[in-house]
């Protein structure tokens, strides 16, 4: 078994600094962990691509979708992606999972711990943010699905998890 690359070791160091438990995937430059977010459990993978000095963070959660609601879920993810600047949401049809993926190319082999942490926080937040919107679609009766306006659904801020450390009473 080959030792972890400098790149994935720097990711592990950043995780350790944050107190995030994780494990290496044997024989690959991949770290696996999970986080309990506000709405869902987020499975998280960090994969280093040493040949191009990049890191991809993938956050995902189980989301079985009724076949009749799949189009609405895909539209939801598409519309959410149009509002993003970094990363993107996907639906893994084979595994029935909502996935968020973000990649960064680093200048040095030892990745910047602040960028790593930001990527992890972003992946967790985006998976957690989209989960209740998916739940609304899943809970909408089939005969009312055509009346559900996905664009307006995404404007509902009552479904967004609170921002940690943000106190609205101070504003």
**145 falls within a domain:** yes
**170 falls within a domain:** no
DSSP 111: -
What DSSP element (H or E) covers 129? helix 113-139
**151 falls within a domain:** yes
Within 13 Å, how many C-alpha atoms sit on residue 55's CB side?
30
Residue 164 has pLDDT above 80, yes or no: no
pLDDT digits (tens, 9 = 90+) for 1-47: 677 899 999 999 999 999 999 999 998 999 999 999 999 999 999 99
Q: How far apart are CA 92 and CA 69, in angstroms?
A: 15
Domain around 38: 6-159
| Contact (Cβ atoms closer than 8 angstroms) between residue 97 and residue 89 | no
Q: Is residue 106 very low, low, confident or very high in pLDDT (cuts 50, 70, 90)?
A: very high
Cα pseudo-dihedral 33, 92, 134, 89, rounded to 10? 70
Residue 107 has pLDDT above 80, yes or no: yes
pLDDT digits (tens, 9 = 90+) for 37-91: 999 999 999 999 999 999 999 999 999 999 999 999 999 999 999 999 999 999 9
CATH of the domain at 80: 3.30.1460.10
Pairing verdict, β 41-49 and 97-105: unpaired
pLDDT for the residue numbered 167:
56
What does the radius of gyration of the chain's CA atoms come to, in whole angstroms? 18
**15 falls within a domain:** yes
> What's the mean pLDDT when you consider all of the chain?
92
- Using alpha carbons, list the distances in angstroms from residue 29 to 88, 110, 111, 124: 22, 14, 13, 20
The pTM (predicted TM-score) of the whole model is: 0.90
């Amino acid at each position: 078994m080959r030792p972890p690359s400098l790149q994935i070791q720097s990711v592990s160091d950043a995780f350790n600094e944050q107190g995030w438990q994780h494990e290496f995937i044997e024989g690959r430059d991949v770290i696996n962990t999970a986080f309990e977010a506000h709405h869902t459990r987020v499975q998280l993978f960090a994969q280093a691509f040493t040949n191009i000095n990049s890191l991809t963070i993938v956050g995902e959660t189980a989301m079985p979708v009724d076949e009749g609601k799949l189009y609405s879920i895909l539209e939801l993810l598409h519309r959410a992606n149009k509002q993003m600047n970094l990363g993107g949401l996907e639906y893994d049809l084979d595994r029935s999972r909502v996935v968020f993926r973000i990649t960064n190319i680093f200048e040095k082999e030892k990745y910047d711990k602040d960028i790593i942490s930001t990527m992890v926080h972003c992946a967790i937040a985006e998976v957690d943010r989209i989960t209740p919107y998916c739940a609304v679609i899943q809970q909408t009766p089939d005969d009312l699905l055509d009346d559900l306006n996905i664009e307006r659904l995404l404007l509902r801020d009552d479904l967004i998890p609170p921002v940690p450390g943000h106190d609205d009473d101070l504003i």
